[in-house]
A and B are shown apart, each in its own frame.
Chain A
Amino acid sequence: MNKIKSPYKINRLNFNFEAFRKGGLIGVALAFLALFIVVPLIAVFTEAFSKGAELYFASLMDPDARSAIKLTLLVAAIAVPLNTIFGVIAAYAIAKFQFKGKNFLITLIDIPFAVSPVIAGLVFVLLFGSQGFLGPFLEANNIKIVFAVPGLILATVFVTFPFVVRELIPVMQEQGTDEEQAGRILGANGWQMFFRITLPNIKWGLLYGIILCNARAMGEFGAVSVVSGHIRGLTNTIPLHVEILYNEYQFSAAFAVASILAMLAIVTLFLKSVVEWKTK
Chain B
Amino acid sequence: MFKKKKRHHQVLPAFGLSMGYTLVYLSLIVLIPIAFLFIKAAAISWDDFWSIITDRRVLASFQLTFSTSFMAAFINAIFGTLIAWILAKYQFTGKKIVDAIVDLPFALPTAVAGIALTTLYAPNGWIGRFFEALGIKVAFTPLGIMIALIFIGLPFVVRSVQPVLQELDQQYEEAASTLGANSLQIFMKIILPTIFPAILTGFSLAFARALGEYGSVVFISGNMPLKTEIVPLLIVTKLEQFDYVGAAAVAAVMLVISFILLFLINFWQWRISKKYETV
**Residues of chain A at the chain B interface (Cβ within 8 Å):** 21-22, 25-26, 28-30, 32-33, 35-41, 43-44, 47, 86, 89-90, 92-94, 96-99, 103, 105-119, 122-127, 129, 131, 133, 154, 157-158, 161, 177, 180-181, 184, 190, 193, 212, 215, 218-222, 225-226, 238-240, 242-243, 246, 251, 254-255, 258, 261-262, 264-266, 268-270, 272-273
Minimum CB–CB distance from A276 to chain B (whole Å) comes to 9
Say whether A242 contacts B18, CB under 8 Å.
no
Contact of A39 among B100, B120, B236, B262 (CB under 8 A): B120
CA of A211 to CA of B166, assembled, Å: 25
CA of A181 to CA of B12, assembled, Å: 7
Say whether A122 contacts B37, CB under 8 Å.
yes
CA of A72 to CA of B99, assembled, Å: 29
Say whether B214 contacts A118, CB under 8 Å.
yes
- CB contact list, B14-43 vs A, under 8 A: 14-15, 18-19, 21-22, 25-26, 29-31, 33-34, 36-37, 39-40
Q: Which residues of B contact A255 (CB under 8 A)?
A: 115-116, 119
**Residues of chain B at the chain A interface (Cβ within 8 Å):** 9, 11-15, 18-19, 21-22, 25-26, 29-31, 33-34, 36-37, 39-40, 79, 82-83, 85-86, 90, 92, 96, 98-113, 115-117, 119-120, 126-127, 147, 150-151, 154, 183, 208, 211-215, 219, 231-233, 235-236, 239, 242, 244, 247-248, 251, 254-255, 258-259, 261-263, 266-267, 270
Say whether A33 contacts B98, CB under 8 Å.
yes
- Given A242-B112, A243-B111, A269-B101 in contact, is the A32-B25 Cβ separation under 8 Å? no
Q: Which residue of A lies closest to B205 (CB)?
A: A113
Say whether A107 contacts B98, CB under 8 Å.
no
CA of A84 to CA of B13, assembled, Å: 20
Q: Which residue of B lies closest to A39 (CB)?
A: B120
Say whether B109 contacts A29, CB under 8 Å.
no
Q: Which residues of A contact B25 (CB under 8 A)?
A: 86, 90
CA of A255 to CA of B36, assembled, Å: 38
Say whether B101 contacts A221, CB under 8 Å.
no
Q: Which 8 A-B pairs have the closest CB atoms?
A: A116-B212, A219-B109, A221-B215, A222-B214, A93-B18, A265-B107, A123-B33, A190-B13
Q: Which residues of A contact B151 (CB under 8 A)?
A: 36-37, 40
Most buried by B among A119, A193, A220: A119
Most buried by A among B29, B85, B115, B261: B115
Say whether A239 contacts B239, CB under 8 Å.
no
Q: Which residues of B contact A28 (CB under 8 A)?
A: 82
Contact of B83 among A33, A99, A114, A219 (CB under 8 A): A33
CA of A53 to CA of B125, assembled, Å: 22
Say whether B92 contacts A242, CB under 8 Å.
no
Say whether B154 contacts A239, CB under 8 Å.
no
Contact of A97 among B12, B112, B244, B254 (CB under 8 A): B12
Minimum CB–CB distance from A13 to chain B (whole Å) comes to 13
Q: Which residues of A contact B26 (CB under 8 A)?
A: 90, 108-109
Contact of B100 among A181, A261, A270 (CB under 8 A): A270
- Majority-rule SS of A interface residues: helix
Q: Which residue of B lies closest to A30 (CB)?
A: B98
Q: Which residues of B contact A112 (CB under 8 A)?
A: 30
Q: Which residues of B contact A22 (CB under 8 A)?
A: 90
- Given A29-B82, A114-B208, A119-B37 in contact, is the A37-B154 Cβ separation under 8 Å? yes
CA of A23 to CA of B60, assembled, Å: 43
Q: Which residues of A contact B215 (CB under 8 A)?
A: 117, 221-222, 225, 239
Q: Which residues of A contact B19 (CB under 8 A)?
A: 93, 97, 99
Most buried by B among A43, A126, A158, A240: A126
List 11 interface pairs A-B (beta carbons < 8 Å), by A numbering: A25-B85, A43-B116, A110-B266, A114-B262, A122-B247, A123-B36, A218-B109, A222-B215, A238-B109, A239-B109, A262-B108
CA of A126 to CA of B213, assembled, Å: 20
Minimum CB–CB distance from B228 to chain A (whole Å) comes to 16
Contact of A37 among B82, B101, B254 (CB under 8 A): B101
CA of A240 to CA of B218, assembled, Å: 13
Say whether B212 contacts A117, CB under 8 Å.
yes
Q: Which residues of A contact B270 (CB under 8 A)?
A: 103
Contact of A158 among B33, B247, B267 (CB under 8 A): B33
- Given A26-B92, A39-B120, A127-B36 in contact, is the A118-B232 Cβ separation under 8 Å? yes
